[in-house]
Amino acid sequence: MSTVLEERPAAADAIQKFTATMMIRRFDPDTDTEPRWQEFSVEMLPTDRVLDALHQIKWEQDGSLTFRRSCAHGVCGSDAMRINGRNRLACKTLMKDLDISKPVYVEAIKGLPLEKDLVVDMEPFFASYREVQPFLQSSSKPDKERLQSAEQRARFDDTTKCILCAACTSSCPVFWTDGQYFGPAAIVNAHRFIFDSRDEASEVRLDILNDKEGVWRCRTTFNCTEACPRGIQVTQAIAEVKAAVLRGHA
């Protein structure tokens, strides 16, 4: 038994640290009129994530760096940001998966008002989320749970995965143009209830989304599907809502 232990290489020697250059788009509303790029060097392990790099900068180099994160494990949806031009969660993006021979560019998600550094005002995003009535509406008052078959549950399973990180909506070129479009995230969360067999307000939501700024503004560019950190087939969900609007029911 002890020989096996002795033959195992020392773990600390095996893992190579490397230096990565981070280009962070900084914006301080008190002093800046325009955002500016700032360069930082960080010592990283291959297992580190972009969020660890941001932590290292904030904790060891520049405490004024501002960004959102809560759970840091890809569930809360707080740290969506634009990393090397793609919307991703900083806590789910490993440094070793990026090209670290070049600087790693990190900036706030686009299309929402920039508040400071990597923090944007999420209110327009949540306003359109609220507008689609993202809650179960049912007139029945069962004594126990509302029953649903496995097939009925599977119908909207994909869209239950949304964590409201805004990576999809802020990657949508139609949303960028004037911010009036509902955006993929609101439609995904409408989809989640429109196709729920227990819900009775599908027609109301379909009517809401049959709006000038509703599903018809979607150009199926698939930016949202590509951006979604949860792998939701966002564009497909939007297409299913379009088809439901045409049918008049879910």
Partner 1 sequence: MTTETIEAPRSARVSKRSTNFEKWGWLYMRGSGVLLVVLIFAHLFTNLIAGEGGVKAIDFGFVAGKWANPFWKVWDTLLLWLALIHGSNGMRTIVNDYVGNQRLRKIIVLALLISSVVLLVLGTLVVWTFSPCPAGALPSDLPSFCPAQ
- Cβ 207 to partner 1 shortest distance, Å: 5
User: Interface mask (CB under 8 A) for partner 1, residues 139-168, using x and -?
Assistant: x-x---------------------------
| Residue numbers 203-222 binding partner 1 by CB under 8 A | 204, 207-208, 210-212, 214, 216-217
242 phi-psi bin (left φ>0, alpha ψ -120 to 50, beta other): alpha
| 238 sits near partner 1 (criterion: CB under 8 A) | no
Tell me, residue by residue from 163 to 202, as one string, x for binding to partner 1 by CB under 8 A and - for no binding.
-----------x--xx------------------------
How do strand 104-107 and strand 18-26 relate by DSSP bridges? parallel
- Per-residue x/- marks for partner 1, 91-130, CB under 8 A? ----------------------------------------
- The closest of 211, 209, 219, 206 to 248, measured between CA atoms, is 206
Comparing CB distances to partner 1, the nearer of 63 and 142 is 142
**Residue number with CB closer to partner 1 (8 or 212):** 212
Closest CA to 106 of 82, 78, 72, 79: 82
DSSP assignments along 79-126, one per residue:
-EEEETTEEEEGGG-BGGGS-TTSPEEEEPPSSS-EEETTEE--HHHH
Q: Are 206 and 195 in contact (CB under 8 A)?
A: no
Q: Which residues of 69-91 are buried (b: 16+ CB within 10 A; e: fewer)?
A: beebebebbbbbbbbbeebbbbb
Query: How far apart are alpha carbons 62 and 216 in whole angstroms?
Result: 45
For partner 1, the binding residue among 1, 4, 10, 246 (CB under 8 A) is 246
Q: Whose Cβ is closer to partner 1: residue 22's or residue 174's?
A: 174
Distances (CA, A) of 181 to 31, 76, 184: 32, 24, 9
CB of 146 to partner 1, least distance (A): 11
State which residue, 108 or 215, has the beta carbon closest to partner 1: 215
When asked if residue 38 is in the footprint of partner 1 (CB under 8 A), the reply is no
Give the residues lining the site for partner 1 (CB under 8 A).
139, 141, 174, 177-178, 204, 207-208, 210-212, 214, 216-217, 242, 245-246
